[in-house]
Amino acid sequence: MLDPWLYPALTAVAVVSGAIDAIAGGGGLIMMPALILTGLPPHVVLGTNKLQSSCGTAMATWRYRRAGLFQIGPNKAVIAATFAGALVGALVIQRLDGHSLSLIVPVLLMAVALYTLLSPRMSDGDSRDRLGDRKYRPVAASIGFYDGFFGPGAGQFFTTTLVALRGLGLTRATGLTKLLNVTSNLASLLVFAAGGQVLWLLGLCMGGGAIAGAWLGAHGATRFGARLIRPLLVVVSLALTGRLAWNWFA
């Protein structure tokens, strides 16, 4: 049983987490440690976090779609690949320990941060599509698998690959990232829910906070574009890198 005061406290944390996640991803950097401190079992933490994250990313996706930043129709195959990857990832994590990923992920996130800082392509201008939809599907499936299996930084990986490989401007890439993120979150949630690893009341309370935060974050991102997204993406990537590296070496 959780202390009653934890419900409003974690809901407030979810507001902040949802806002950051809607802009640059990485809201789990805030939410996951807060859930871990409650003493809940690790798989319950992951499952409950997927519920609140699904709520937040759904709101952000709706907000970005209203702004006209992506269309669902042309991305159906990529959505399906992401869903399948996340489904498999969530099934695997039910049986394996994800601790070994903590060594690899900081390196990947540092690469994301450096690319975001140094690449002139990290702007709102579209550029040449280097990969195409068909060849991007395995990339989306791999990131979906990672999101289902572990999670932190999946939004950064989606955004960076959409900019670098698909040629999308940063704000458009962020919008499509939310669509793919909510897809992987829902796939993972199905698996965790089937395994009884979700605290529904707590997750829905936090989900309400995540929705409020996501609305605020997506509103700011669509208004200010790359000027807001780029620096926050760097900060969140570096913070995630430091956090995961600390966890590994500690």
- DSSP letter string over 49-74? HHHHHHHHHHHHHHHHHHTT---SGG
35 has pLDDT over 80: yes
Q: For residue 61, what are the domain limits?
A: 6-249
Domains of the chain: total: 1
Residue 171: its pLDDT value, please? 84
Q: One-letter amino acid identity for 162?
A: L
Give domain status of residue 199, yes or no.
yes
Residue of 25, 3, 8, 13 lying closest to 217 (CA atoms)? 25
Question: CA angle at residue 56 from 150 to 13, to 5 degrees?
Answer: 80
Is 20 in contact with 28 (CB distance < 8 Å)? no
Residue of 18, 20, 17 lying closest to 229 (CA atoms)? 20
What is the spatial distance between Cα 145 and Cα 85, in angstroms, rounded to a whole number?
4
Q: How confident is the model at residue 248 (pLDDT cuts 50, 70, 90)?
A: low
**Which residue shows structure tokens 């507001």?**
15
Is 110 in contact with 241 (CB distance < 8 Å)? yes
| Full-model pTM | 0.81
Task: Measure Cα distances from 221 to 17, 41, 99, 132, 184 in Å.
Answer: 15, 35, 33, 26, 22
Give domain status of residue 1, yes or no.
no
Is 86 in contact with 145 (CB distance < 8 Å)? yes
Give domain status of residue 172, yes or no.
yes
Let me know how many helices (H) and strands (E) the chain has, helices first.
10, 0
Let me know how long the chain is.
Answer: 250
Higher pLDDT, 46 or 10: 10
What is the spatial distance between Cα 69 and Cα 153, in angstroms, rounded to a whole number?
21
Residues 240-247, mean pLDDT to the nearest whole number: 67
Q: How confident is the model at residue 129 (pLDDT cuts 50, 70, 90)?
A: confident
In the DSSP assignment, the letter for residue 121 is T
Q: How confident is the model at residue 82 (pLDDT cuts 50, 70, 90)?
A: very high
Is 250 in contact with 42 (CB distance < 8 Å)? no
What is the spatial distance between Cα 21 and Cα 217, in angstroms, rounded to a whole number?
8
